[in-house]
Amino acid sequence: DAKTTQPNSMESNEEEPVHLPCNHSTISGTDYIHWYRQLPSQGPEYVIHGLTSNVNNRMASLAIAEDRKSSTLILHRATLRDAAVYYCILRDVGDNDMRFGAGTRLTVKP
């Protein structure tokens, strides 16, 4: 599986945008970029995914670099409820499993 690299932790202020980076320099052409987050004492939840183009949904935006070797999850306006561990995962279309790394622990300050 291609690996991803994320900062261990980040801090943000409430109501400000948050940009969570992910490096995946060995990404292949068939790897999708997935983001999940895990709130305290809960299972992970899907946030967004993409292949080449930037993606937007009600939770976040995903900006994918032109060479696809990095991506950024954008929370447009952080709330206290967004405090969680955010996982960036590469998944090939033929893979059965999602390989979760350590993720980025996001702290949101009021």
Partner 1 sequence: GAGVSQSPSNKVTEKGKDVELRCDPISGHTALYWYRQSLGQGLEFLIYFQGNSAPDKSGLPSDRFSAERTGGSVSTLTIQRTQQEDSAVYLCAVNGRATGYNEQFFGPGTRLTVL
Report whether 76 contacts 14 (CB < 8 A): no
Residues written for the chain: 110
Q: Does 31 bind partner 1 (CB under 8 A)?
A: no
Residue 37 binds partner 1 (CB under 8 A): no
CB under 8 Å to 37, separation ≥6 — which residues?
Answer: 44, 45, 47, 82, 84, 85, 86, 87
**Which of 49, 59, 63, 92 is the binder for partner 1 (CB under 8 A)?**
49
Query: Is residue 21 part of the contact set for partner 1 (CB under 8 A)?
Result: no
What's the angle, vertex CA 47, arms to CA 40 and CA 91, rounded to 5?
A: 110
Cβ proximity to partner 1: between 38 and 63 the closer is 38
Q: Rank residues 29 and 43 by Cβ distance to partner 1 and give the closer one.
A: 43
Token pair for 32: 């999708």
* Interacting residues with partner 1 between 65 and 104 (CB under 8 A): 87, 96-103
Q: Which residues bind partner 1 (CB under 8 A)?
A: 32, 34, 36, 42-46, 49, 87, 96-103
